[in-house]
A and B are shown apart, each in its own frame.
Chain A
Amino acid sequence: MSTPTQQRTRPPQGGRVTGKSPVYWLYLLPGGLLFSVIIVVPFVMNVGLSFASWPGVGDIAWIGFDNYTRLFADDTFWASFRNSIAMIIAMVIIPTSVGLLLASVLFDVIGKRFGGRAASTLRALYYLPQILPVAIAGIVMGWILRPQNGALNNILEAVGLGDLAQNWLGDPSTALPSVMAIMVWVQIGYPVVIFMAALQRVDPELYEAAEIDGAGWFRRFRAITIPQIKPETFVVALTCTIAAMKVFGPVFVLTRGGPGDATNVPSYFAYQNFFERANVGYGAAISTVLTLIIIVLSIVFIRFQARSERKERG
């Protein structure tokens, strides 16, 4: 999406590429075709079905905005969106801030004192949960958190903290925090890797000059690291927010939205209606609302990023 905009603002290079060149449109064709088949057509169909009552087979009954009126009065729908906010905390806010700190420590302290290899190894370890298939990670985490014979409770008992043992995923008061903690573990490697890559392109002279001027690590982190890697921070925050809004796999594997609606999220709620309740129209309405929220969030993010970049350029 950003490529054509950037090219329009740049002067044509050697007159080879212009916005009107037919070859240019040819290159867009495969992507455009796939985008239409995989995204646009299903999305339009989904929006269409959100105005219908349909069990998934047979005749479709058009019911106007009924699904939407029902949706906004549905407690489960609102509960699922409240849980989305928890997912944003667990998948965006905590990993991005902790990831920034970790990346900076790995790059600036570990990398310098113990060598690049030590920093790379640690970075790979943080990234490991991102490589694990979510279904497997979820099942293993489910075992660890089991109330009886679960590794976590056993460890707590072994070190004399048996009172802290919980029914982690089975109790509504601990289920959501447990899922959030797992998501932090899953997510943390992504910002660390992106931020470490970003730090590579920051001019080392900036740090050296600051060090000579007597700036400590935290001062350098605040005055150089954070502003210098702002574009990457925006990208991480945006992609993670989208991932948090549409999170499905971990909830499906760990809790199936339960106990009660304690860990239900919009994607799982839509899935339940689509496939479990044979309530395709209602499921489509939930998906449509979710998609619209993600689009609006993305626009806000991108605008905010553009404004911040404009401000920097002065």
Chain B
Amino acid sequence: MRTTRSLQAAGLVAASALVLAACGGDDNGGQATGDDGGQATSGGTLSLWHYEGENSAMGIAWDEAMRIFEEETGATVEFEEKSFEQIRQTANMVLNTSEAPDILEYNKGNASAGLLASQGLLTDISDAVAEYGWDEQLAPSVQTTARYDENGVMGDGAWYGIPNYGEFVMLYFNEDLFAEHGVAIPETYDDLVAAMDEFVANDVTPLAMSGAEYPAGQLFYELALSQADRQFVNDYQLYENPVDFSGAALSYGAETFSEWVQAGYIGDYSAGLSAEDMGTAFIAGDYPMLYSGSWWYGRFVDEIDGFDWSIDTFPGSDLHPGSSGNLWVVPTASENKDLAYQFIEITMRPEIQALLGNNGGVPVDADPDDITDEKSEELITVFNEISDADGLAFYPDWPVPGFYDDLVGALQQLINQNATPAEVLEQLQLAYESGLDNVPN
């Protein structure tokens, strides 16, 4: 009975809420305009969404950018903290309503910003880019993810976003474990294989790995990239030519990955491990090497205190998974586009870029003299080398929506050794092609 009454009461409350909501109308289009809000100033209000942690490099830098923005423009920033998943899953529904913010952080790539751009939900900001000169601040391979053609394919066409930071995938070394086992830090691909053999001979699994999330797919892609050129990346990511998964590069990636499992370089138990499991195991000093992204860097600086560690790019490859970071995009429904551009301009200033760099981020346009932290300098130097050499090859799951799950599933089979590299490549080929049907081009 109590349940019935509670349900009835809940029903009445919900029904009343619906009725009240219907009566409420949309007198000012939600929070977006805010011109008549209590705290509004003569400068207006900029509603802004992002999903970076408060203590992350981006969180710190953008907080300062908001402060400067309010000081300089007299406008108020109405900041709403969102989660990555929240924005990813609901942006397409929210952005064409009056609830859309004036500016937001959004995931880069064809399936994300590209899709929204092709559907007319994002503003073409090319004029603002020319006016503020942002194109001159961004390296060509960083620009790729900011520009989309009419089909939402990145690389060419109008500007739809501006990234403030970059990211890339590299090798992290636990120098103490190398010293303990008398192994030299590898500089070439052959060194790397020899070092892993030595660790295996010493009963140590050399590479921390996660099969349940992105790391395995990124290693597979890096191995493929070591046999590929920029044209392969353009075919795979930008659909310039059909991709043959049984071709030289991807076959090498899958076969080598499988051999690494058989040789014990990668633990055959790692199929069910998450990226967090992998990272914390490296932090705990359980593995000599980790192959993963710059997003771990700040955390390693904070949390690793038991051993010395260093980084390097994956040896024997000119191309590496990586890209610009997420983008500042301006929804078509934004009512304060000029304020949004002014905010982006502040985030690209040297002081904000330096703040990003000194807090473990990888700024896209920092003045090297402004980077005072030694560890940060090491990271930014490696990124600049890759970026200057046009070595950012994006991520393996980008080309088609949902390919992430397919890659995870495929690599788990290689880790568990219950499918051959050829079978896995065939599955990936099918998933890639059926995914292409959903890409509007």
B is a partner of A: yes
Using CB atoms and an 8 Å cutoff, list the residues of chain A in contact with chain B: 29-31, 33-34, 37, 55-58, 142, 145-148, 167-172, 175, 255-261, 272-273, 275-279
Binding stretch for chain A, among B7-15, B234-242, B300-308, B350-358: B7-15
The reply to whether A169 and B413 form a contact with Cβ atoms under 8 Å apart is no
Which single member of B92, B118, B119, B412 contacts A259 (CB below 8 Å)? Answer: B412
Contact A272 B271 (CB under 8 A): no
When the two chains form their complex, are residues B18 and A256 in contact, meaning their CB atoms are under 8 A apart? Answer: no
B92 touches A56 (CB 8 A): yes
Contact with A along B407-441 (1 / 0, CB 8 A): 01100110110100000000000000001001010
Choose from A29, A34, A57, A258 the contact partner of B121 (Cβ within 8 Å). A57
For this complex, 18 residue pairs linking A to B, each with C-beta atoms less than 8 Å apart, are A30-B11, A31-B8, A58-B119, A146-B277, A167-B272, A169-B212, A170-B211, A170-B270, A170-B271, A170-B412, A256-B212, A256-B408, A258-B408, A272-B405, A277-B435, A278-B111, A278-B115, A278-B401
Q: Are B402 and A167 in contact (CB under 8 A)?
A: no
Give, as a whole number of angstroms, the nearest-CB distance from A141 to chain B.
12
Q: Contact between A259 and B269 (Cβ–Cβ < 8 Å)?
A: no
Q: A147-B269, A258-B408 are in contact. Are A55 and B11 (CB under 8 A)?
A: no
A148-B281, A170-B271 known; A258 vs B212 contact (CB < 8 Å): yes
* Interchain CA distance A147-B270 in the complex, whole Å: 8
The CA-CA distance from A256 to B408 in the complex, in Å, is 10
Within 8 A of A (CB), among B197-219: 211-212
Question: In the complex, A259→B409 CA distance in Å?
Answer: 6
Q: Contact: B401 with A277, CB < 8 Å? A: yes
Give CA–CA (A41, B270) in the complex, Å: 44
Whether B404 and A276, one on each chain, are in contact in the complex, defined by CB atoms closer than 8 angstroms, is yes
Q: When A and B form their complex, which 5 residue pairs have the shortest distance between CB atoms, in order from nearest?
A: A170-B272, A277-B402, A170-B271, A259-B412, A147-B269
Q: Is the CB of B269 within 8 A of A275?
A: no
In the complex, the chain A residue whose C-beta lies closest to that of B272 is: A170
A58 to B272, CA, bound (A): 37
Look across to chain B and name the residue whose beta carbon is closest to the beta carbon of A271. B89
**B416's contact among A171, A255, A257, by CB below 8 Å, is which?**
A171
Residue ID in chain A nearest B397 by CB atoms: A276
Distance in Å: Cβ of B431 to nearest Cβ of chain A: 10
> Whose C-beta in chain A lies nearest to the C-beta of B14?
A34
Complex interface: chain B residues within 8 A of A146 (CB): 272-273, 277
- Evaluate contact between B412 and A260: CB separation under 8 angstroms: yes
Residues of B within 8 A of A148 (CB): 267, 269, 273, 281
CA of A271 to CA of B438, assembled, Å: 16
CB distance from B216 to the nearest CB of A (A): 11
Q: How far is the CA of A145 from the CA of B274 in the complex (A)?
A: 12
**A56 vs B400: C-alpha distance when bound (angstroms):** 15
The residue on A at minimum CB distance from B411 is: A259
A276 CB to closest chain B CB (Å) equals 4
**8 additional A-B residue pairs with CB within 8 Å, beyond A167-B269, A170-B273:** A37-B18, A170-B269, A171-B272, A172-B416, A257-B409, A258-B271, A258-B408, A259-B416
CB pair A30–B402 under 8 Å, yes or no, is no
Expressed in whole angstroms, the Cα–Cα distance for A272 and B431 within the complex equals: 13
- CB pair A278 B438 closer than 8 Å: yes
Q: Which of B89, B92, B404 contacts A57 (CB 8 A)?
A: B92
On whether A276 and B401 interact (CB within 8 A), knowing A30-B11, A57-B119, A57-B121, the answer reads yes
Q: Could you give, for residues 93-124 of chain B, a 1 whenever the CB lies within 8 Å of some chain A CB and a 0 otherwise?
A: 10010000000000000010001101111000
Closest B residue to A268 using CB positions: B405
Chain B CB count within 10 A is highest, among A34, A37, A172, A278, for: A278
Which residues of B lie under 8 Å from residue A272 when comparing CB positions? 402, 405
Q: Is the CB of A259 within 8 A of B413?
A: yes
Residues B128-177 near A (CB distance < 8 A): none
CA distance A56 to B91 in the complex (A): 10
Asked if B402 and A255 sit within 8 Å, CB to CB, the answer is no
Cβ contacts under 8 Å, A175 to chain B = 272
The answer to whether residues A55 and B438 also contact, given A259-B409, A279-B402 and a CB cut-off of 8 A, is yes
Complex Cα distance A34/B116, Å?
Answer: 32
Are B272 and A168 in contact, with the CB atoms below 8 A? yes
Q: Give B5 Cβ to nearest chain A Cβ, in Å.
A: 13
**Alpha-carbon distance A169/B274, docked complex (angstroms):** 11
Which residues in window 71-89 of B have CB below 8 A to A? Answer: 88-89
A147→B266 CA distance, assembly (Å): 14
- What 1/0 flags go to B240-271 for Cβ under 8 Å of A? 00000000000000000000000000011111
Q: Report B-chain residues with C-beta under 8 Å of the C-beta of A256.
A: 212, 405, 408
Contact call B11/A259, Cβ cutoff below 8 A: no
Q: Which residues of A contact B121 (CB under 8 A)?
A: 57
A273 with B402: CB separation less than 8 A: yes
CB neighbours of A57 from chain B (8 A): 92, 96, 115-116, 119, 121
Given A147-B272, A168-B272, A259-B413, residue A279 in contact with residue B119 (CB < 8 A): no
Which of the residues A30, A37, A56, A276 comes within 8 Å of B8, measured between beta carbons? A30
| B11 closest partner in A (C-beta) | A30
- Residue of B whose beta carbon sits closest to that of A38: B14
CB pair A278 B402 closer than 8 Å: yes
Distance in Å: Cβ of A125 to nearest Cβ of chain B: 23
Contact between chains at A167 and B271 (CB < 8 Å): yes
Cα of A171 to Cα of B416 in the assembled complex, Å? 7
**List of A residues within 8 angstroms of B281 by Cβ:** 148
Contact for A277 among B96, B272, B418, B438, CB less than 8 A: B438
